[in-house]
A and B are shown apart, each in its own frame.
Chain A
Amino acid sequence: MRRLRHFVAALSAAFFAACAAPLQLPEGFVELEDAGYGYRAVTSDDARLWLRELRDPTEGEIEFWAEALQRDLVEERGYELVASGDLQDASGAGGRWLEATSNVRGQRIDYLVALWCRKRSWWLGGGEDLLVAEFAAGAEVYARRLAQVKAALSTVRW
Chain B
Amino acid sequence: MRLSWLLLSLFSVGAASCAAEGHYPPAEMAADMEASGYASGTFASLDDITNGVVDESARVGMELDAARLPSNDGARLGRMALADDSGEAGEVRFVDTDDDGLPDAPESTAPRRERMLIYRGNLAIEVPRAEDAAKAFLAQVEAWGGYLQSQTGTRLSVRLPAERFDAAFTAAKGTGRVLHEQRSASDVTEEFVDLGIRLDNAKKSRERLLELLQKADKVEDMLKIENELRRLTEEIERMEGRMKFLRDQVAMATLDIEFRSVAEAPPPPPHRRRPSRFRWINQVGAANLMERF
Contact = CB atoms under 8 A, between A and B. Distances in A.
Contacts of B265: 101-104, 106-109
A153 to B, nearest CB: 15
Instruction: Point out which of B127, B173, B269, B274 has the most chain A C-beta atoms below 10 A from its C-beta.
Output: B269
Contacts of B176: 143-144, 146
Contacts of B279: 56
A98 to B, nearest CB: 11
A147 B278 contact: no
Interface string B232-256: 0000000000000000000000000
Interface string A84-117: 0000000000000001111111111111010000
Contacts of A143: 126-128, 175-177, 262
A24 to B, nearest CB: 18
A136 B286 contact: yes
Interface string A47-89: 0101010111010000001001100110011111011000000
B266 A103 contact: yes
Contacts of A101: 263, 265-266
Contacts of B267: 78, 103
Interface residues of A, number: 46
A104 B287 contact: yes
Contacts of B175: 143
A140 interface: yes
B290 interface: yes
A147 B174 CA distance: 6
B284 A113 contact: yes
A29 to B, nearest CB: 13
Interface of B: 126-128, 173-179, 262-270, 273-274, 276, 278-281, 283-287, 289-291, 293
Given A78-B266, A82-B179, 7 more contacts: A48-B289, A54-B283, A56-B278, A78-B269, A106-B265, A139-B126, A143-B177
Interface of A: 40, 42, 48, 50, 52, 54-56, 58, 65, 68-69, 72-73, 76-80, 82-83, 99-111, 113, 130, 132, 134, 136, 139-140, 142-144, 146-147
30 contacts: A48-B289, A52-B283, A68-B276, A72-B276, A76-B274, A77-B285, A78-B269, A78-B270, A79-B266, A99-B177, A102-B266, A102-B286, A103-B265, A103-B267, A103-B268, A104-B286, A106-B265, A108-B264, A109-B286, A109-B287, A109-B290, A132-B280, A132-B284, A134-B284, A134-B286, A134-B289, A136-B289, A136-B290, A139-B126, A143-B127
